[in-house]
Chains A and B, each alone.
Chain A
Amino acid sequence: MTEFFQFLFSGLTVGAIYALIALGFSLIYNASHLINFAQGEFVMIGGMATVFFAAAGIELPLAAVLAVLLAVVVAVAIERLGIAPAKGTSAVGLIIITIGAAILIRGLAGIVWDRNFHSLPPISGEEPLVIMGATLLPQSLWIFGVTAVIALLLWFFFAKTLWGKAMMATAYNPLAAQLVGIDTRKVVLVSFALAGALGALAGVLITPLAPTHFQVGVMLGLKGFAAAIVGGLGSGLGAIVGGLVIGIAEAMAAGYLSSAYKDAVAFVIILLFLVLWPSGLFGLRGIERV
């Protein structure tokens, strides 16, 4: 039983990280139906920039804030310089732009910062909590908490505020959105800025658990994307559940099946989920009619 809880805690921690990244994907998706493959780079910027600002003598909390701001600036730059000017580019073309941006950011990070890995101290110490005989780090609790709060805020924003609805409307039908007076350019820009901040926050939170380096965004971005898809694109709750499903699948596969094939098992599970829920667990489906 202890064993099970240990696997579960691992899955929850990792899953919450994936969820936090997935929320960034969903945010941009909600405003523009775009998949931003540079989302993982925001996570990288969050961690790396905090490390380097701190190394430059800035207090850690301030360094983290600056890192988040830097990610926002980068996100805004991607939107302004990459996405906004690309009129008439297909959906896949826009994805290629975000992939290009990711390569560019990664390249710059490797030059401006370095190609080493770096860690940050945890927020509340490293003394593990023991629950049901299994251990859990306080940092995990921080990650759960922040993820839950952000998911709640996003849910409130999209479900309850007109601004949130305007953001989704922009994605559903940009032409109609303009015709009802929504400044679609601003909406998409804001979604990028928020996603940048979210990604960077994730980076700040996970670096104490898993060191960051200039290429850390590749795999984290991939897992975050998978979480967003399994949960259903655009759904905050979906991002969380999707993240946890994948995190727990990985942990249980490593624990009970085969650690060598745990990633493969996780992806098999993702495929099964997609077959059963073709638009993700909480994704919109069936609104198309003729």
Chain B
Amino acid sequence: AEPIRIGSFLAVTGPAAFLGDPEKKTLELYVEKINAEGGVLGHPLELVLYDTGTSAKNAVTFVKRLLEQDRVDAIIGGTTTGETMAVIKLVEKAERPFISLAGASVIIDPVKKWVFKTPHTDRMAVEKVYADMKKEGVTEIGLIGGSGGFDKSCLKNAEELAGSYGLTIKATEQYGKGDTDMTPQLTKIRNAGVQAVLFCGFGAASTIVTKNYAQLGLEGRLYHNHGSCSKRFIEGAGAAAEGVRLPCAALVVADQLPEDDPQRAVGLAYIEAYEAAYGEEVSTFGGHAYDALFLLVGAIERAGGADPAAVRDALERTRNFIGVDGIFNMSPEDHLGLGPEAFKMLEVRGGNWKYLY
């Protein structure tokens, strides 16, 4: 039968490679699995995937290529917000369903007809952290983050939301691309007198900040955002990571979830499949791609084919889809469909994640 063509453009290399790489691996793994099991509605899936190198300009070109040359039926991709925003006009004009894997809420707020996304917004992560801080009686905090889009968006939300949780930001510090030491920034935060610190970033910086935090002996809890939801972070930071709290998708602690939690089974299955195929730990970023792919597959099945308009409508009517990121309920007003409960609050204890609530 005619294959159903799914286009994808991801930051497999470049600054966001840490996010894009597992996304790519996930898509490739599951497209193969789906095809092995007979495809969707009897059609095999064909994945056309391009590496943007984390460049919005390349994203634009590749999306044009996906639309014009490869004539794909739907698009999954845009690892970063910049890549995603740069192509929205194109997909809207071409009228093809598009599920973004980037964090920022601007992508779906205001709602764009053809654009959906799977990751929780960074705003939700910050809210989760702030709620926890408030519960712990913290009132004065410091922020530290990188200079990339992911980091800055988190910092911006953190600054905007602080007031509503009764928090005062005493210091906001940044580090640069490829920095290897953040003690000066943390020293300033320490001197500002804070009760807790929120870290906005991902990758190697998570480890460095955490180690420097311990080195300087800062008092008060260090919170990370969901960029650090990777076992690599604990391994890298070692003892320094003890006590760090962060909001993560259920996937990270799937095995600690109660037996009756619907996400447990989905998460465990994904973990098993991914780790068997690649011999490396899953990441929540790969999970975004997982959800995007299966949201799309579900919509195609419900639409009875790959007709873009029908798939789009079906996507918008997604109800109770159990993904690794949470349970999705889309609507014409909400093209994400996740609630704040999709994040779980974790703490690092004994070199492992501890599921708190």
Residues of A within 8 A of B (CB): 3, 6-7, 9-11, 13-14, 17, 106-107, 110, 114-119, 121, 126, 128, 135, 137, 206, 209-216, 218-220, 222-223, 250-252, 254-255, 259-260, 262-263
Contact = CB atoms under 8 A, between A and B. Distances in A.
Contact of B21 (A13, A115, A219, A260): A115
17 contacts: A7-B184, A14-B180, A106-B13, A110-B17, A110-B21, A118-B232, A118-B236, A119-B207, A135-B183, A206-B180, A211-B207, A213-B204, A215-B13, A251-B181, A252-B184, A255-B188, A262-B174
B147 A260 contact: yes
B61 interface: no
Contacts of B215: 126, 128, 135, 137
B17 A260 contact: no
Contact of B180 (A17, A106, A107): A17
A243 B285 CA distance: 36
Contact of A114 (B208, B216, B237, B280): B280
B236 A218 contact: no
A222 B178 CA distance: 10
Contacts of B13: 106-107, 110, 115, 215
B46 interface: no
A117 B236 contact: yes
A218 B18 contact: no
A210 B217 contact: no
Contacts of B173: 254, 259
B239 interface: yes
A61 B185 CA distance: 33
Nearest to A128: B215
Interface residues of B, number: 40
B203 interface: yes
Most A CB contacts (10 A, CB to CB) among B178, B184, B217, B237 go to: B184
B191 interface: yes
Nearest to A136: B215
Q: Is the interface of A mostly helix, strand, loop or mixed?
A: helix
Contact of A211 (B21, B184, B208): B208
Contacts of B280: 114, 116
Contacts of A251: 181, 183-184
B177 interface: yes
Interface of B: 12-15, 17-18, 21, 147, 173-181, 183-185, 187-188, 191, 203-204, 207-208, 211, 214-217, 232, 235-240, 280
Given A115-B17, A116-B280, A209 B177 contact: no
B235 A255 contact: no
4 closest Cβ pairs, A-B complex: A219-B178, A210-B180, A119-B236, A115-B21
Contacts of A107: 13
Contacts of B177: 219, 263
A134 to B, nearest CB: 8
A216 B204 contact: yes
Contact of A259 (B12, B174, B180, B236): B174
Given A117-B203, A211-B204, 13 more contacts: A6-B184, A17-B180, A117-B204, A117-B232, A121-B238, A209-B208, A211-B236, A213-B204, A215-B17, A254-B175, A259-B188, A263-B147, A263-B176
A78 to B, nearest CB: 20
Nearest to B240: A126
A107 B17 CA distance: 12
Contacts of A13: 180-181
Contacts of A250: 176, 179
Contacts of B17: 110, 115, 213-215
Contacts of A116: 18, 21, 232, 280
B238 A135 contact: no
B174 A220 contact: no
Contacts of A3: 187, 191
A6 B240 CA distance: 19
Contacts of A106: 13
Contacts of B239: 126
A137 B174 CA distance: 22
B185 A254 contact: yes
B286 to A, nearest CB: 12
Given A117-B232, A215-B13, A219-B178, A9 B204 contact: no
Contacts of B208: 209-211
A107 B21 CA distance: 13
Nearest to A114: B280
B251 to A, nearest CB: 17
Contacts of B183: 6-7, 9-10, 135, 251
A19 B32 CA distance: 48
A126 B213 CA distance: 12
A234 B177 CA distance: 27
B203 A213 contact: yes
Nearest to A4: B187
Contact of B181 (A117, A210, A252, A259): A210
Nearest to A211: B204
A9 B214 CA distance: 16
Given A110-B13, A219-B177, A255 B184 contact: yes
A55 B211 CA distance: 22
A259 B217 contact: no
Contacts of A213: 17-18, 203-204
